[in-house]
Amino acid sequence: MPSDKTKWIFESDDRPARRRDFTDLGPDDTSLLGPAPGIGAAPTALDATRMVQVADERTRIEIVEAIPFEEELDPVVGWLVVTKGPGLGRSVNIGAGMNIVGRESGCRVSLPYGDMTISGEDHLRIVYDDVSRSFLVVPGSGKNITRLNGQVVTATLPLPTHSTLELSKKTTVRFVAFCNEDFDWGDIAPPEA
């Protein structure tokens, strides 16, 4: 039996739901939020988030926060593919620079597939150095260990493509490099001045 403080949560309300009839709205009952371009105006590249729905002459729903389109600033340089455990067959992208791997969504490389023995925020780190065009694996600050091709990762080690990383007794991933000594994004995209 719930206490008096929570009793209202568990009581049922047998009254019919109150409904409002919106058919009698006058022209002053609705207003536009933000600047209003002409009805039916085609969105421009700078209006990528603009959505307009016109139901009739007095109804208009508009989200006007325009965000300029920007090219992807973090191209993929490799992948981790789950080969054993929760998330089997799924892949996650590796970006240039430092990649913190963990379970939480705030990690650059998130593995949120349900293996609670993978550290939440910093299980391990994968580094792609675009100067040497090489990958490294670095132990994270989490309490759980990682094995690279069967060897415990206790210090920074080279990470060759097609290596196996045992993140826990349940989850194993395979590392696949996209960038290497033959290709780097810098080869096709000149650095910005």
Three-class SS of residue 176? strand
Q: Is the four-CA dihedral 62, 63, 64, 69 of positive or negative sign?
A: negative
Q: Quote the DSSP letter at residue 5.
A: T
Per residue of the chain (193 residues), give pLDDT as tens: 444 444 444 444 444 444 444 455 455 544 444 444 444 444 444 333 333 444 455 544 444 343 332 335 679 999 999 999 999 999 999 999 999 999 999 999 999 999 999 999 999 999 999 999 999 999 999 888 999 999 999 999 999 999 999 999 999 999 999 999 999 999 986 666 5
Radius of gyration (C-alpha) of the chain in whole angstroms: 26
pLDDT on residue 188: 87
Whose CA is closest to 62, among 77, 47, 52, 73?
52
Beta strand spans in 4-75 (E):
51-56, 59-63
pLDDT on residue 20: 45
Torsion-angle region of residue 85: left (phi > 0), alpha (psi -120 to 50) or beta? Answer: left
113 CB-contact burial (10 Å; exposed 0-12 / middle 13-18 / buried 19+): middle
- Residue 69 carries which side chain, given as an amino acid letter? F
Q: Model pTM?
A: 0.61
